[in-house]
Amino acid sequence: MALLNILRYPDPRLHKVAKPVTEFGDRLHTLVADMAETMYDAPGVGLAATQVDVHERIVVIDVTETKDNLLVFVNPEIVWSSPDKQVYDEGCLSVPGIYDGVERPSRVKVRAVDQFNKPFEIEADGLLAVCIQHELDHLMGKVFVEYLSPLKRNRIKTKLQKEERDMQRSSARRA
């Protein structure tokens, strides 16, 4: 297994729309394992393949405290969402250190296959429902900050770009 590089907002690759997975084999199994290791190491509760510059419809999620219930969604689609909404403070591994409220349906039903191409459906609420919607947004090229006002989004973009420049300068000095 290997840790993968997580793209940081506003990297334009985060806006690519992921394509369906068509091959289920060793490459997919290795990618899922690497994504899970990367998510747990970050640490996070969800990771979409888009965030590691793989533009295929793959998501890993584990919202448990014990980090022992990995859910793998390949080619996921939301087939139902509740009319009632909730606001949840969201964060993102691609937008480190930033949290803000996003309103989403409070319950969803998702249809997907696992990494072995076995179909399943899951109905979720609470943090799992939020996480599923957040990660599926990534597969559509959308980052949670796009739900925020343009002013907030621009402030976040500027802050993260400055942090990136500072990290690059610091690395250049050490080299």
Annotated binding residues for Fe cation: 92, 134, 138
Q: Catalytic site residue 135?
A: yes
Point out the catalytic residue in the list 37, 77, 103, 135.
135
Considering only CA atoms, which of 131, 146, 36 is closest in space to residue 76?
Answer: 131
Nearest to 140 by CA among 31, 28, 17: 17
| Cis bond upstream, residue 76 (ω within 30) | no
Question: What is the enclosing helix (H) or strand (E) of 150?
Answer: helix 150-174
DSSP letter for 113, please.
E
For residues 162 and 47, give the distance between their C-alpha atoms in angstroms, rounded to a whole number: 24
Q: Single out the residue of 86, 94, 98, 84 nearest to residue 137, CA to CA.
A: 94
Catalytically active residues, by annotation: 135
